[in-house]
Amino acid sequence: MKANILSEQSSAQKVPARIGVYICQCGLNIAQTVDCKQVAQTAAELDNVIVSKDLGYACSEPGQHEIKKDIIEHGLDRIVLGSCSPRLHEPTFRKMMHDAGLNPFLLEMANLREQCSWVHMKEPDAATNKAIDLVKMSVSRVSGLFPLYEETLPLTKRTLVIGGGIAGIQAALDLADNGYDVVLVEKKPSIGGTMAQLDKTFPTMDCSI
């Protein structure tokens, strides 16, 4: 599968991209600082952008539904989301891409919340300008992205638990009782950890061992 990517890259460049841009208001989290409408309108003028609009909550069911509908109606093949940090919702939107029949890696997120509206709350105009720049950068990036494919490999159904205190013991027992083999490593001669040294424990006021 991997070997195909390079050849695919050369063929992919021939067809112009069909990009959808969605600016999430995140309630007021983004919208109270960034003018989401203006950002969406500016993005609409960019090359290969077919659809550009702002949404109340892009991650919500109706939000995702609207994007999926657009993907089918307008034949979109790449999506830009101006929303929260990709560290939060990239998995959510990659799944949405997959459900809509697109390669999940043809998605790019512009971080308009953690790295824009929340950190420039007193400068709405500058924040809007920054948001426009970030979306432009994302549109550029998404245009140059290539579909990627995950490989499936065998996995060892076994867990290493480091530390034999109450947390390690509990985790090991839960895994073992579920049928998974566990290696429980403890540096002291006995498991039990700090808990074993306690006399009584709250809230039950019984002994620790």
Cβ 117 to other proteins shortest distance, Å: 8
Residue 34 vs 67, nearer CB to other proteins:
34
| The Cα angle at residue 107 between residues 49 and 1, in degrees rounded to 5 | 120
Q: How many residues does the chain have?
A: 209
Nearest Cα residue to 26 out of 117, 125, 160:
117
Cβ nearer to other proteins, comparing 33 with 70: 33
4 versus 74: smaller Cβ distance to other proteins: 4
Q: How far apart are CA 72 and CA 94, in angstroms?
A: 16
**Residue 74 Cβ vs other proteins, minimum distance, rounded to whole Å:** 23
Closest CB to other proteins among 39 and 70?
39
Residue 6 or 61 with smaller CB distance to other proteins: 6
Cα–Cα dist 142/80, whole Å:
7
Q: Which two tokens stand for residue 135?
A: 């979306």
Give the torsion through C-alpha atoms of 154, 156, 162, 165, to 10 deg: 120
Please state the closest distance from residue 138 (CB atom) to other proteins, in A. 8
Instruction: State the nearest-atom distance from the C-beta of 11 to other proteins, in Å.
Output: 15
Q: Which is nearer to other proteins, 18 or 136 (CB)?
A: 136
Spatial distance between the Cα atoms of 152 and 150, rounded to a whole number of angstroms: 7
Q: Are 67 and 22 in contact (CB under 8 A)?
A: yes
Whole-number Å distance between alpha carbons of 86 and 49? 21
- The amino acid that residue 117 corresponds to is S
What's the min distance (Å) between Cβ of 152 and other proteins?
5
Q: How far is the CB of 60 from other proteins (least distance, A)?
A: 16
